[in-house]
Amino acid sequence: MWAQTINMLLGLWLMAAPGVLGYGRPASTSDHIVGPLVATFACIAIWEATRPVRWTNLPLGIWVLATPWVLGHPLSGQLGSVLSGTAIALLSCLGGSIQQQFGGGWSMLWRSSRS
């Protein structure tokens, strides 16, 4: 859960970074699109039943990591983008412990209830 909380904060940071660090388009547009997505998927992945949604942040983190070279971030945004992208990608790989089992998956549809 703590990894997803940090990813939510990193998503918020991505939304604020262009204003704080003072860089413009196209890097700011990318951050304004990816930031809310990272925060949303991290928020959804906090709960055990929806934990696999965290994997959606892995390609988003890789994209944020690559944007300084793909979109040409100015120097002020390069380090923040590399650090944020790396953290998002790594934290999306941390699943956390599972306390309960939910349902049984698709196989429960054809299993007999007479075990």
Q: Phi first, then psi: what are they for 71, rounded to 5°? A: -100, -10
Mean pLDDT on 79-92: 90
Mean pLDDT on 84-98: 85
* Single pTM value for the model: 0.78
Mean pLDDT on 67-81: 81
- Residue owning tokens 């698709």: 106
Read off the pLDDT band of 61 (50, 70, 90): very high
pLDDT tens digits for 5-53?
Answer: 999 999 999 999 888 888 878 888 888 999 999 999 999 988 877 788 8
Q: Give CA angle at 108 (106, 113), nearest 5°.
A: 165
